[in-house]
Amino acid sequence: MADINKLEAFVTQVRRDIVRQVHKVSSGHPGGSLGCAEFISVLYQELMERKEGFDMDGIGEDLFFLSNGHISPVFYSVLARSGYFPVEELNTFRLLDSRLQGHPTTHEGLPGIRIASGSLGQGLSVAVGAAQAKKLNNDNHTIYALMGDGELQEGQNWEAIMYASAKKVDNLIATVDLNGQQIDGSTDHVLNMGSVRAKFEAFGWIVLDIEKGNDIKAIVSGMNKAKAASGQGKPVCVLLHTVMGNGVDFMMGTHAWHGKAPNDEQLASALEQNPETLGDY
Amino acid sequence: MKTYENTGSKDTRSGFGAGMTELGRTNLNVVSLCADLIGSLKIQTFIDENPERFFQIGIAEANMMGIAAGLTIGGKIPFTGTFANFSTGRVYDQIRQSIAYSGKNVKICASHAGLTLGEDGATHQILEDIGLMKMLPGMTVINTCDYNQTKAATIALADHVGPVYLRFGRPVVPNFTPADQTFEIGKAVQLQEGNDVTIVATGHLVWEALEACKVLNEKGITADVINIHTIKPLDAEAIIKSVKKTGCVVTAEEHNFLGGLGESVARELSLTHPVPQEYVATEDTFGESGTPAQLMEKYGLNANAIVKKVEKVISRK
């Protein structure tokens, strides 16, 4: 059973890492990163079966694919603090010659990254392929994927969603970060998608909601249910209801901090709200 | 002048299918993906023999490229199959991010390239794909000339690590390269030796270059004919060595002159040994409906066109 206090402390440090990375280079995407801090932390610290070290093929372990690559600050923080590369390397986020590119990439050989993402809508297809490779390899592990809700406006997702159910890709748990925000405003305002649940269900997926997508207990419990629902002939979709910017009060619930860095005062405030737990890099 | 015998005309796509059949039997990591064009890509035998290693994607090429990238994670060697137009322009960003930039070992196999797709017309006749694909860092670009070479290339791709674009066609064309050839990526094949001009050809234009050579010989002109099956990386050494002897070059391809083989050759010449060059290629135009032979005549992509360009380039020496 999960040690909730330990996970809380982990997430608090991840939040610090996110705002510090973005502040240092005055660029990056803190809002969506903070909204998914609990989810990605729980994945790596609690849910996924992971091998020591990193190899690209990832045979014999669970794999995670981030499709909305702009939330790289949270991904880098969780990967570093899960042992994939030195935590100090978070200092190089978005700098010249860094392995921590603005959007995640395999190109610079950063351990933990298996596909480049950033141009939206491509990650689910890749996850589906990786899930099918696992089946061919008789590798009984799970593929996890995360997409943004605004990202569902990209048509390629729906090709992948249709395919995954038709081909019974049931070793796949795809999570949608339902924060209701995108660059130009709320998702309802920019392009109202109607019921995401109804759409996935119509495409033949099992759909589960995690209503409290920033609550560690709710995530652990919801994802365990998702895991239990996998392996039954259908892909599983988790609708993760999150608050963009969660954990930093002035960033919460708005699209304003989608791709904007805090200034010095704002950083101080964000850090004060999230005291150091595991040690800053 | 060497004589090349057509051992029986076949389509290059059938060479791809035959190569896939062999790979299905010899390399268990090879998987095949197709976007609703099994018959066109000639992969039914692979599917019959390896149903678990075949992925019917449906009419969803973007998804196919992503799935192919994902299949490499786990050690598979995916060969995607659809028309050249839908293998490149339609899915350029998927290839760029999920395959090329991600360094994935995906083989993008494209049939029905160029004008010789014929009656379907310009919507399906891509003449820009070589340019699109050669501009992607790390992408190998191959355009084979006949059935035997396409089969050999297909088989060779499985042992090459990295993304590759393999371009072939629909029509039945002469089959003249050796059935037992070893396909070496990036290595030019010299087909004729001459002194007056270098003809550098790729794909369906290689046979046309050999035909042109016969006509030129009757006019007292001898040509080096080089089959460039690999446009990237280009065997610049072979080309430069030849033009140092002949002093001029004609490039020949079933592609727009912009972005094609000719431009790649021109760059190498300009860097090391500038000589007059003429292009047998389409002139920044779309194609149209017609038979392959009619189209190749109208757009100047056959032996006659090569002869004319050779005479022109020699006059510029």
Closest approach of B61 to chain A, Cα-based (Å):
9
The residue among B29, B67, B77 with the most chain A CBs within 10 A of its CB, best to mutate, is: B67
What residues of A are in the B interface, CB distance below 8 Å?
A: 56-59, 63, 65, 105-107, 114-119, 121-134, 136-137, 139, 155-156, 159-160, 162-163, 166-167
Nearest residue of B to residue A105 by CA position? B102
Q: Indicate if B166 and B198 belong to the same structural domain.
A: no
Range of the domain at B286: 189-315
Contact B73 A57 (CB under 8 A): yes
Burial readout B147-159 (b: 16 or more C-beta within 10 A, e: otherwise):
bbbbbbbbbbbbe
Same domain, B221 and B310: yes
Domain boundary among B104, B139, B173: B173
Range B107-128 burial, b when 16+ CB lie within 10 A, else e? bbbbbbbbbbbbeeeeebbbbb
Tens of pLDDT, residues B133-172: 999 999 999 999 999 999 999 999 999 999 999 999 999 9
Same domain, B35 and B117: yes
B30–chain A Cβ distance below 8 A for any pair: no
Assess if residue B181 is contained within a domain.
no
pLDDT confidence of residue A51: 97
Active site residues of B: 61
User: Average pLDDT for residues B208-218, to the nearest whole number?
Assistant: 98
Q: Which of A51, A68, A106, A122 is the mutation pick for testing B, counting most B CBs within 10 A?
A: A122
Q: Do B68 and A139 touch (CB under 8 A)?
A: no
- What rounded mean pLDDT belongs to chain B? 98
pLDDT given for residue A253 in this prediction: 85
Arithmetic mean of pLDDT, B54-69: 98
Instruction: Give helix A4-25 / helix A264-273 axis angle, nearest 10°.
Output: 180
Residue B238 lies in a domain: yes
Q: For residue A1, what pLDDT is reported?
A: 61
Phi, psi of B107 (to 5 degrees): -105, 110
Count of A–B CB contacts within 8 Å? 118
Q: Do A129 and B70 touch (CB under 8 A)?
A: yes
CB B147 within 8 Å of CB B14: yes
With a pLDDT cut of 70, the percent of chain B lying above it is: 100
Amino acid at A175: T
Q: Is B128 a member of any domain?
A: yes
Q: Residue B304 maps to which CATH number?
A: 3.40.50.920
Query: Is residue B4, in this structure, part of any structural domain at all?
Result: no
Which residues of chain A register pLDDT less than 50?
A: none
In this structure, the answer to whether residues B164 and B16 fall within a common structural domain is yes
Domain count, chain B: 2
> Is there a single domain that holds both residue B158 and residue B199?
no
B114 touches chain A (CB under 8 A): no
ipTM score for this prediction: 0.97
Q: A57, B66: Cβ pair inside 8 Å?
A: no
- Give dist(CA B9, CA B167) in Å, integer: 18
Closest partner residue to B66 (CB to CB) among A122, A133, A167 is: A122
CATH code of A4-273, in short, is 3.40.50.970
Cβ of residue B152 closer than 8 Å to a chain A Cβ: no
Do residues B203 and B161 share a domain?
Answer: no
Looking at the fold, whether B234 and B145 belong to one and the same domain comes out as no
Which ranges in A110-154 belong to alpha helices (H)? 123-136
Could you tell me which residues come within 8 angstroms of residue A137 by beta carbon, excluding any fewer than 6 positions away?
A59, B74, B75
Residue found by looking up tokens 């708005």 in the block: A254
Q: Which residue of B has its CA nearest to A56?
A: B73
Measured between CA atoms, how close is B78 to chain A, in angstroms?
10
Kindly identify which residue of chain B lies nearest to residue A59, measuring between CA atoms.
B74
B75: how many CB neighbours lie within 10 A of its CB? 15
- pLDDT one-digit tens code per residue, B225-272: 999 999 999 999 999 999 999 999 999 999 999 999 999 999 999 999
| CA dist A281 → A34, A80, A88 (Å) | 18, 10, 5
- CB contact (8 A) between residue B69 and residue A56: no
Q: Where among B139, B173, B207 does a domain terminate?
A: B173
For residue B42, what is the domain's CATH number? 3.40.50.970
Structural domain contains residue B178:
no
Domain presence at residue B183: no
Does this model's pTM top 0.90? My answer is: yes
Q: Can you read off the two tokens belonging to residue B277?
A: 């060059």
Q: Which of B58, B76, B97 sits opposite A133 (nearest CB)?
A: B76
Task: Please give the pLDDT value at position A243.
Answer: 97
Residue B138, min C-alpha distance to chain A (Å)? 11
**Mutating which of B97, B105, B106 best tests the A interface, going by the most A Cβ atoms within 10 A?**
B97
Residue B265 covered by a domain? yes
**Are B168 and B15 within 8 A, CB to CB?**
yes
Chain B closest-CA separation from residue A54 CA (Å):
12
pLDDT greater than 80 at residue B52: yes
Candidates B33, B36, B65, B73: best to mutate against A (most CBs of A within 10 A) is B73
Nearest to A163 among B52, B57, B75 (CB): B57
What's the confidence (pLDDT) of residue A2? 77
